[in-house]
Amino acid sequence: MAVVAGWLAGLLSLVAFVPYILSTLRGHTKPNRATWSIWTVNSFVIAASYYSSGATNTIWVAVGYSIGSLVTAILSYRFGTGGWNWLDRNCLTGAAIALFCWWWFDSALIALIMSLSVDFAGALPTIRKAHLEPETEDRIAWSLFLSGNCVNLMAIERWMFSIVIYPAYMVLASGLIALLVLRPRLHND
């Protein structure tokens, strides 16, 4: 069951990028350049460190996010918003520091924890944008991101910190953005 849940969660997470990308190409969604660039760099660090920390069934969400984030980041330079402020630059520096610490301490868990911190800092511009301008984010995509992350919790076989931290964080982070994006639409229904 955990294997199937892991594959389904990864598939949902990757498929969530389809409406997001289509909405971006149509000009409805405006991905924040800094967020998606940071998430791209950081998602590859997270996927590698998470796998090295022992993740197996739950790794597919991280892989899906790496691929989808890369495509979205590329599109954000033409169709997105935002620039590179001090927070954005510091987030990329944080991802580099996480890689260095992984090498220095020979600890994938340290790199994973640092990368998740960087990931949240990188999410801040999108969280702010989702709060102020929820119409610039795709509600179907964020619903699918949250769904994939919730299913990923069912893929956890070993309930140990190094395995649980990534899926738990992703549910909280995607849940916050989904709540902000869906809130006005739910309120008006």
Angular region, 133: left φ>0, alpha ψ -120 to 50, beta rest: beta
The amino acid at residue 114 is: M
Q: What is the pLDDT of residues 65-119, one digit of tens each?
A: 999 999 999 999 999 887 777 877 777 777 778 778 878 888 889 888 988 988 8
Domain range spanning residue 63? Answer: 2-188
Domain count, the chain: 1
- Distance between CA atoms of 74 and 80, rounded to whole angstroms? 10
Q: What is the pLDDT of residues 22-58, one digit of tens each?
A: 999 999 999 988 888 888 988 998 899 899 989 999 9
In sequence order, which residues have a C-beta less than 8 Å from that of residue 93 and are 6 or more positions away? none
pLDDT of residue 92: 72
More confident residue, 156 or 86: 156
If pLDDT is split at 50, 70 and 90, which confidence band does 189 have?
very low
